[in-house]
């Protein structure tokens, strides 16, 4: 009788135990795009937000079924525009004539577009929740370090013109490039002096749908750069010989990046499977 009782107890215990199979590793690739802009406030121009994109290779390690930590590597593009369509008058000093004069710069539909590429490495904590059937919810949050790769600008539009008015003669001098009074076409391009690494805060959330061993992901993301990526400069936006570029000049003293948009991706769990006993109540 005692043996029968022991057998029945063992049967009930073993029938109430299930083994949850958890794969610890997940890899993926994602593509994202939206407003990925360079945020700054120029003193003499209208700032326009820009668009950009991102490609990222991800890795996640599952601590538990619902929690994972992750990292990866990605490349992101950011852009913005500065538009000037006005005349700016400054007081300059003429050493040779020993007098002040009014230096005027007239911008005619002057548009500078900046394009940045950055290498980005995230470190994040992710929460996962199964919604039923093949659907899952995921959200992540953490810091990301970004390293500038290429920082270029290109100017389009018509031209800018510089001139000087001397009160002693009552004459406004133009078309004298030897004195810095000239007309320059807007077809210019160059590199912005931006080399400071950025610390960003980012978050993303979305839904995935499982097909066999692959998950298809659709979600949204947002990030903000905490670091001012430019040094304060005393360089004028233009000189008689050269054009400095908006972000290298004294017209801008702070530069941050901001991104928000949509994200799609493919993920796959890999590696050995660990078994975890769950007891039914």
8-state DSSP, 126 = E
Angstrom distance (rounded) from CA 251 to CA 234? 9
* Helical (H) or strand (E) element with 6: helix 2-15
Per residue in 92-148, pLDDT tens? 767 666 678 888 888 888 899 999 999 999 999 999 999 988 999 999 999 999 999
Rounded mean pLDDT, 18-42: 84
Which token pair is 272? 């050995």
Average per-residue pLDDT for the chain: 84
User: What pTM was estimated for this model as a whole?
Assistant: 0.80
Residue 152: predicted pLDDT = 94
Residue 164: predicted pLDDT = 85
Q: Are 128 and 67 in contact (CB under 8 A)?
A: yes
């Amino acid at each position: 009788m005692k043996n029968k009782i022991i057998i029945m107890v063992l049967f009930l215990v073993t029938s109430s135990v299930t083994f949850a199979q958890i794969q610890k590793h997940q890899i993926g690739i994602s593509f994202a795009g939206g407003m990925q802009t360079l945020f700054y406030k120029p003193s003499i121009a209208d700032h326009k937000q820009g668009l950009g994109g991102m490609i990222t290779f991800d890795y996640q390690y599952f601590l538990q079924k619902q929690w994972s930590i992750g990292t990866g590597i990605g490349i992101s593009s950011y852009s913005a525009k500065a538009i000037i369509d006005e005349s700016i008058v400054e007081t300059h000093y003429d050493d040779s004539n020993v007098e002040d004069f009014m230096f005027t710069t007239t911008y005619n539909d002057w548009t500078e577009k900046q394009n940045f590429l950055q290498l980005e490495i995230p470190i994040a904590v992710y929460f996962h929740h199964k919604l039923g059937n093949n659907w899952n919810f995921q959200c992540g949050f953490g810091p990301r370090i970004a390293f500038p790769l290429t920082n270029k600008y290109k100017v389009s539009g018509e031209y800018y013109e510089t001139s000087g008015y001397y009160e002693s003669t009552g004459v406004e001098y133009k078309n004298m490039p030897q004195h810095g009074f000239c007309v320059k076409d807007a077809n210019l391009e160059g590199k912005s002096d931006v080399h400071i690494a950025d610390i960003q805060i980012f978050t993303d959330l979305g839904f995935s749908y499982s097909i066999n061993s692959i998950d298809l992901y659709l979600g949204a993301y947002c990030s903000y750069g905490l670091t001012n990526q430019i040094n304060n400069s005393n360089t004028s936006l233009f000189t008689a010989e050269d054009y400095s570029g908006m972000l290298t000049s004294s017209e801008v003293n702070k530069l941050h990046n901001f991104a928000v948009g949509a994200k799609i991706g493919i993920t796959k769990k890999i590696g050995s499977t660990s078994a975890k006993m769950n007891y039914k109540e």
